Structure 1
Amino acid sequence: MASPGAVLLSEWTKIKTVRSTVVTLLSAFVVTVGLGAVICLVTNAQWNSMSDHDKLTFDATNTSFSGIFLGQLAVIVFAVLVVGNEYSSGMIRVTLAAVPQRATLLLAKTAVLIALVLPVALVTAFTTFFLGQALLGSHGVSLGDRNVLRAVIGMALYMTLIAVLSLGVGFMLRKPVLSLGLLMPFFFLISPILTAVPKVKTVARYFPDSAGRRMSEVVLSNDIPYGPYAAIFVCLAWAAACLLGGYVLFKRRDA
């Protein structure tokens, strides 16, 4: 029976030495920071042409995070590959022979995933914020302004929870293509469409991407019926549900 410490060390070694780990997490940083910077630059240039209403409701912090919902694509890919690569290569059989305790293995993978994603997410969120505010010029805000720090940390938490959610889906579906084939349409097609459909948008407002948007807001919009702190629990519930579903199937199925 492998000790939890040994399992953690093994998972840490496996994940951090895979090339896709560096590539995908670096992509998340570059895309999020880069797209956010472009949007802030364009917003500042077009400020005088904006309506009075848009100026009054302008959320400088949320604007700087405009690229994070594209940057999460890389985080989703990373999390799916953490488990999907082992199934695709057949290494999962070796892993389970060494660590037959499936709950221990799943928790170890989750812990290592969080240990890798959270620091990257924090660096990404703070870099995106500071660069975005600099490009917004006089229309920007400072980190010490009310609720700004909460929004910045909220975005880092969102990225991390999306990674955990995706890991759970990876355990459920096992194959990277199937997992990405479910997650990508959900975040980039199904959720945005349902949010705009009157009869179902109430439910869609509780999807994780809607909660993530609420977490990044300082000037709260009226289309989401809960606050930023409740949004954290919405994302946490999604991540926990997917991870639990992954564990149930992981425990019942053969490698």
Structure 2
Amino acid sequence: MGLERKIDQPFFKEVGEISRFTARFFREVTKPKQEWDEFINQCYWIGYKALTLVSITAFIMGLVLTIQSRPTLVEFGAAALLPSMVSVSLVREISPVITALICAGKIGSGIGAELGSMRVTEQIDAMEVSGTNPFKYLVVTRVLAATVMVPILSSLAIGISLYGGYLGTNIRGEVSWTLYVYQAYDALSYGDFLPSIIKTIFFGFAIGIVGCYKGYTSQKGTEGVGRSATTAVIVASLLVFILDLIAVQVVDILGLT
């Protein structure tokens, strides 16, 4: 019992601290005088940092998924359904989740390390002394930027992965771009696109909050900075899977599948 209590207490304490940090974010974001210049700057850097990796990964996902799925469909005489199957899989699940995981690794760790370095070098303390609100300037802008940019990156990943699927379809066959687009989009509906985009908003928010929390509360010098970056990736990735599970259940209950 004693060991279980020691294990559970840090976990629930962490959950409580993140909840308080999130509540403070919502209080600060509603206050006047937003830092729009810093928000736009963070949108640029967050999108720029992850764009190349997201694009390459999305293209490979679409290509590999198509190549791997084709033999099974051919075996059942359903090769014509390949564009439809690939498009539904990519739009509903694969592209949003993989994009969020990439952003958790790239963006979450970057924010954690950056804010962690500012904390241990007392830059955040200096901002508080000078009368600046460091939470609003550093945390609110980064969380909002991640919330905005992850859905945009996910939408871009969907388009690139569908093009990768088109190339994969033409490796063993010959399908025109017009026919491929018609078959791919004919199998899709707003019930596929809307939940996909909405859940990436929550993915981006979770990634931003976790990265900022880990960095903003970093301690123990340079060792703490590294730990903040590492744990930000782990926790953000876990939250992505949990939020995805919740989103799937909600969509199924609403009958959008």
State the TM-score, normalizing by the size of structure 1: 0.57
Q: Is the aligned partner of 1:72 residue 2:107?
A: no
Q: Which of 178, 184, 203 is the aligned partner of 1:142?
A: 184
Name the counterpart of 1:168: 209
Q: Which of 156, 174, 185 is the aligned partner of 1:123?
A: 156
> Could you tell which deviates more after superposition, 164-173 or 77-86?
77-86
Alpha-carbon distance in 2 for matches of 1:43, 1:151: 20
The answer on whether the counterparts of 2:146 and 2:205 sit within 8 Å (CA) in structure 1 is yes
Q: Is the aligned partner of 1:87 residue 2:116?
A: yes
Alpha-carbon distance in 1 for matches of 2:244, 2:53: 19
Deviations 1:102-138 (A, max 9, x none): 3575433222223433322222223323543564558
- Comparing both chains, which one has the higher relative contact order based on Cα–Cα distances under 8 Å and sequence gaps of 6 or more? 2
Deviations 1:134-180 (A, max 9, x none): 6455898332x364344235434433321211111223333212222
Shift in Å, 1:35: 1.4
Name the counterpart of 1:183: 236
Alpha-carbon distance in 1 for matches of 2:214, 2:194: 31
- The residue type equivalent to 1:70 in the other structure is I
Name the counterpart of 2:74: 48
Alpha-carbon distance in 2 for matches of 1:40, 1:94: 54
Alpha-carbon distance in 2 for matches of 1:32, 1:228: 29
The answer on whether the counterparts of 1:33 and 1:128 sit within 8 Å (CA) in structure 2 is yes
- The residue type equivalent to 1:227 in the other structure is D
Q: Taking structure 1 as reference, are residues 103 and 42 closer, same or farther at Cα in structure 2, changes over 3 Å only?
A: same
Shift in Å, 1:70: 3.3
The answer on whether the counterparts of 2:207 and 2:236 sit within 8 Å (CA) in structure 1 is yes
Q: Which of 39, 50, 65 is the aligned partner of 1:24?
A: 50
The answer on whether the counterparts of 2:96 and 2:154 sit within 8 Å (CA) in structure 1 is no
Q: Where does structure 2 lack aligned partners over 5 or more consecutive residues?
A: 1-30, 170-174, 216-227
Greater C-alpha radius of gyration: 2
* Number of aligned residues: 195
Alpha-carbon distance in 1 for matches of 2:124, 2:87: 42
Alpha-carbon distance in 2 for matches of 1:39, 1:29: 15
Alpha-carbon distance in 1 for matches of 2:239, 2:73: 30
Alpha-carbon distance in 2 for matches of 1:149, 1:177: 37
- The residue type equivalent to 2:200 in the other structure is M
Name the counterpart of 2:3: none
- The residue type equivalent to 1:209 in the other structure is D
Shift in Å, 1:79: 3.7
Shift in Å, 1:77: 2.5
State the TM-score, normalizing by the size of structure 2: 0.57
Alpha-carbon distance in 2 for matches of 1:228, 1:134: 35
SS in 2 for 1:170: helix
Alpha-carbon distance in 1 for matches of 2:239, 2:76: 29
Alpha-carbon distance in 2 for matches of 1:125, 1:95: 40
Q: Which of 203, 208, 227 is the aligned partner of 2:252?
A: 227
The answer on whether the counterparts of 1:37 and 1:64 sit within 8 Å (CA) in structure 2 is no
- The residue type equivalent to 1:22 in the other structure is Y
Name the counterpart of 1:195: none
Alpha-carbon distance in 2 for matches of 1:152, 1:131: 19
SS in 2 for 1:42: helix
- The residue type equivalent to 2:209 in the other structure is G
Alpha-carbon distance in 1 for matches of 2:194, 2:201: 11
More helix by share: 2
The answer on whether the counterparts of 2:66 and 2:165 sit within 8 Å (CA) in structure 1 is yes
